[in-house]
Chains A and B, each alone.
Chain A
Amino acid sequence: MARRDEHMQSFGTRLVQFGFLVVILALWYLATNRWGINRLLLPNPIAVWHQLVDVLKSGEYLPDLRVTLTELGMAFPLALTSGTLVGYFVSRTGYTIRVFEPLFAGIYSIPIILFLPLYILFFGLGPASKIALGTTISFFPIVLSTIAGFGNVDRMLVTAARSMGASDYQLFRYVLLPAALPVILSGLRMGFTVALLSIIGSETIASLAGLGHHIVQLAEAMELPRMFAYIVFVVGIAVLLNGIVSYLEARGRRRA
């Protein structure tokens, strides 16, 4: 009986979730077709769907996608290497942690997007300013999680390994790294997500090319059906990339 209740309940919640999506789509359709909401502001869902199919078929997104992925491909590795290296060296002694950790945490609490105008002044409107901003924004979660990961390794484990005669390399490879890796990996995932967001964001704010730039162009040309389609496309790309990174994180955790 209890199982049947549970079954009914999960059916009910699925129904509500499904219904939510259907109602949104229905309202959207009715608003554009029946209630005469301005088509310039809210395009018809069917038109958006046709545009989405067209965007995917024509492959016109390729140049912009390449720009964005190149920026991400530069920014994230830079943040990864600098963040983990700086984090590792800071975490070597309790003293350096106490000196540097509040410094990084303090800067991290400022919305770093504020530096975008400066970066545009330094590096111009091209990809360089996006790479710099993406690197800066994703550096902080990575460095902080690396410090937290290496800094919180149980002293007991280190002492035990030492007393059994572990070399520096062995200590790092078999004690420190496995103990710190889960925390570092979640920092890396966060770093990746914010790098992607800040790159698309800075492309939206001021740029010459890229996925964010393309959305703005379509908005300025008032081509809303195509813009909606493009937004769906970009969101899909972001969800896909974040999904891959989450999968890699989970795998890395199991390996550790």
Chain B
Amino acid sequence: MSGHVRHFLLRHPGVARLGVVFLILLVWEIAARWVIDPLFISPPSRVFTSLGTVWTTVGVPAALRLTLYELAVAFALAVAIGLVVGLAVGLQPFVRRSLMPIILLLYGLPQITILPLFILSLGIGAASKIAFGVTHGMFPIMLAIAAGVQNLKPILLTSARSMGASRWQILRWVIFPHMIPSFFSGMRLGMTGVLLGVLLAELYVSTAGIGHFTTQFTETFDPTKLFGLIAMLAAMAIALNEIVRRAELRFGRWR
């Protein structure tokens, strides 16, 4: 019998993984119920059953919706800016040589140090969160797109041109299909950046977004609701990441 189980687990690592997750939850449950002060930690069963009460807390659904809105706008802007700058940098050698060092320099700086500036100049509303998300998300997109079109084989361009393709035709039929894989991997990296930027700004200061509620639940020592809210946000982040990852898998391998 035990040989059977062993064999089954060896052939299905995914099941063993679920077992590990279950074990962790079990230890957490036991620790939270009988060992640790309930002011600080809440057992997973209680967190799960109270997800409903978190959802019905006044303002929480609106806060989650606001955060999702900030994420969506920031992501769209980051993709648009990243696409334009990335194409310019990737296709024009002169622009690349002059702008690339500046982009790499800016990308390497710790942007978190200027978060208070964003808040001072754009206020504590959605605008500052969106702007901070954009500045986190656009650089990886720029770099991925620039790298993608840069790898374009010159012979493709030459042959297209010798067959009499116009600029637009080259862009549409040679460059555009070629940059699709790097575009989607850039989108995935950009989504990670946008999530980080928006959530950092939300946690720093917020009047109606999720940052407001995390602060409130922390200050009132309400770990059950705090865990629940963070679980919802984590689920949102996972869903968004998964969407762009799926898109990358779907469109990334066209050749």
User: How far is it, in angstroms, between the C-alpha of A94 and the C-alpha of B238 when the chains are bound?
Assistant: 26
Would you call A227 an interface residue if the criterion is a C-beta within 8 Å of the partner chain's C-beta atoms? yes
User: How far is it, in angstroms, between the C-alpha of A99 and the C-alpha of B192 when the chains are bound?
Assistant: 24
Which residues does chain A contribute within 8 Å of B196, judged by CB atoms? 111, 113
Would you call B163 an interface residue if the criterion is a C-beta within 8 Å of the partner chain's C-beta atoms? no
Nearest residue in A to B238 (C-beta to C-beta)? A110
**Judging by beta carbons under 8 Å apart, are A201 and B17 in contact?**
no
Would you call A118 an interface residue if the criterion is a C-beta within 8 Å of the partner chain's C-beta atoms? yes
Would you call B97 an interface residue if the criterion is a C-beta within 8 Å of the partner chain's C-beta atoms? yes
Which residues does chain B contribute within 8 Å of A13, judged by CB atoms? 94, 97-98
Within 8 A of B (CB), among A115-155: 115-118, 120-122
**Judging by beta carbons under 8 Å apart, are A113 and B199 in contact?**
yes
Would you call A41 an interface residue if the criterion is a C-beta within 8 Å of the partner chain's C-beta atoms? yes
The one of A110, A116, A219, A235 that contacts B120, using a Cβ cutoff of 8 Å? A219
Which residues does chain A contribute within 8 Å of B13, judged by CB atoms? 95, 98-99
Which residues does chain A contribute within 8 Å of B238, judged by CB atoms? 106, 109-110
**Judging by beta carbons under 8 Å apart, are B203 and A121 in contact?**
no
Q: How many A-B residue pairs have CB under 8 A?
A: 117
User: How far is it, in angstroms, between the C-alpha of A224 and the C-alpha of B121 when the chains are bound?
Assistant: 11
**Judging by beta carbons under 8 Å apart, are B203 and A234 in contact?**
no
Would you call A86 an interface residue if the criterion is a C-beta within 8 Å of the partner chain's C-beta atoms? no
The one of B17, B97, B113 that contacts A99, using a Cβ cutoff of 8 Å? B17
Would you call A49 an interface residue if the criterion is a C-beta within 8 Å of the partner chain's C-beta atoms? no
* Interface size classification for chain B: 35 or more
**Judging by beta carbons under 8 Å apart, are B108 and A239 in contact?**
yes
* Interface size classification for chain A: 35 or more
Known: A9-B97, A238-B110, A239-B108. A110 touches B226 (CB 8 A): no
User: How far is it, in angstroms, between the C-alpha of A234 and the C-alpha of B110 when the chains are bound?
Assistant: 9
Nearest residue in B to A197 (C-beta to C-beta)? B110
**Judging by beta carbons under 8 Å apart, are A99 and B20 in contact?**
yes
**Judging by beta carbons under 8 Å apart, are A110 and B237 in contact?**
yes
User: How far is it, in angstroms, between the C-alpha of A234 and the C-alpha of B94 when the chains are bound?
Assistant: 32
**Judging by beta carbons under 8 Å apart, are A204 and B97 in contact?**
no
User: How far is it, in angstroms, between the C-alpha of A110 and the C-alpha of B16 when the chains are bound?
Assistant: 22
Which residues does chain B contribute within 8 Å of A197, judged by CB atoms? 110, 112
State the Cβ distance, A117 to closest chain B Cβ, in Å. 4
Nearest residue in B to A198 (C-beta to C-beta)? B112
**Judging by beta carbons under 8 Å apart, are B113 and A234 in contact?**
yes
State the Cβ distance, B188 to closest chain A Cβ, in Å. 10
Interface residues, chain B, with chain A CB atoms under 8 Å away: 10, 13, 16-17, 20-21, 40-41, 94, 97-99, 101-102, 108-110, 112-117, 119-121, 192, 195-196, 199-200, 203-204, 214-215, 217-218, 221, 223, 226-227, 230, 233-234, 237-238, 241
Besides A10-B97, A118-B230, A227-B116, 17 other CB < 8 A contacts? A9-B94, A12-B94, A16-B99, A20-B98, A95-B13, A99-B13, A113-B203, A114-B199, A114-B230, A115-B230, A120-B218, A121-B223, A204-B112, A204-B115, A235-B113, A238-B109, A242-B108
